[in-house]
Amino acid sequence: MKNIKLLLLFFTIFFIVSCNLLSFKNISNDYRWKKKKFVNSVNLRFIYSPTLFKQVGAVNSFFFYKADLKNLDKQYKVESMLIKKFKNRNIILSSEGIITLKIDTVLFRGYSEMVSVYSNDLDNEYLGTSEKQYFMFKLSGCLMKKDSCISKIEVEKKHNTEPRESFLFSGVIVDGGIGAQTNKMIENTINEFSYRAYLKLKEMQY
């Protein structure tokens, strides 16, 4: 009985991994820069007035399926997430401060294209076509002093699904990378942005 349970567990894990139902993109990147924060709090004047680019197809792409295309930045809580991530670094975004952080660009992009899929074996047999889904999120801004940009900060993350033959079922097309979650990829991008800004401020000897 124990061996059967272990076999079922092994098959389940192998199935999940083979079909890419899990994704490392969903792992928080907070741990990468753990404790990277100022000892004493820093006040940073914050202006969130970005140009929003929403390059998502009329028919919602996979990564923005059923998303509110008119309010993507609000749906994914870009502004509040920025405030939270900076607070974790002991940087207080407020209406005060000698240095200003101005967010100038937020870009969401999602689209698909048809690609040919071939078998994994040496014959490289043509299996048909499948949709390849693309995701991109970009966040940029400036650290400013007296209305002059003293440091540009920009972070861009890209991801896509990759149609291929299943490792388990011959002739069946599956999508690698399909398990990545949009909200987590956006959150990780915002966290990296806060880290890049922290490094710039540290160079200014704050």
Q: Which stretches in the chain have pLDDT values below 50?
A: 14
Q: Among candidates 32, 10, 39, which has minimal Cα distance to 206?
A: 39
pLDDT computed for residue 157 by the predictor: 96
Identify the pLDDT of residue 194.
98
Q: Give dist(CA 185, CA 157) in Å, integer.
A: 8
Residues 6+ apart with CB under 8 A from 171: 119, 127, 165
Backbone angles phi and psi of 72, in degrees to 5: -60, -40
Instruction: Name the residue type at position 192.
Output: E
CA 95 to chain centre: 28
Task: Specify whether the backbone of 77 is left (phi greater than 0), alpha (psi in -120 to 50) or beta.
Answer: left
pLDDT of residue 199: 96
Instruction: Report pTM.
Output: 0.88
Return the beta strands (E) in the chain as ranges. Answer: 42-56, 91-94, 100-118, 126-145, 148-160, 162-165, 173-176
Q: Which domains does the chain have, with CATH numbers?
A: 2-203 (3.30.160.150)
